[in-house]
Amino acid sequence: MKLKEEKELQAISEEFEKALQSFHKKNYVKAGDGFTKVVDAYKDSEFYSVLEIQTRAKVFQSIAHAQAHPVKLKLESAQDHVWEGVFQLNAGHVEKAQEHFAHAEKNNCRDAFLYYLMAAAYLRQEDTAGALRYVDKCLKKDESYKVLIYNEPDFEPLHQNPDFLKLVE
pLDDT digits (tens, 9 = 90+) for 82-127: 999 999 999 999 999 999 999 999 988 889 999 999 999 999 999 9
CATH 1.25.40.10 residue ranges for the chain: 78-168
Q: What is the DSSP letter of 167?
A: H
> What top-level class would CATH report for the domain 78-168?
mainly alpha
Q: Read off the pLDDT of residues 131-160 as tens digits, 9 standing for 90 and up.
A: 999 999 999 999 999 999 999 999 999 999
Q: In the prediction, which pLDDT does 42 show?
A: 87
DSSP assignments along 117-139, one per residue: HHHHHHHHTT-HHHHHHHHHHHH
**Mean pLDDT rounded to a whole number for the chain:** 92
pLDDT band per the 50, 70, 90 thresholds, residue 3: confident
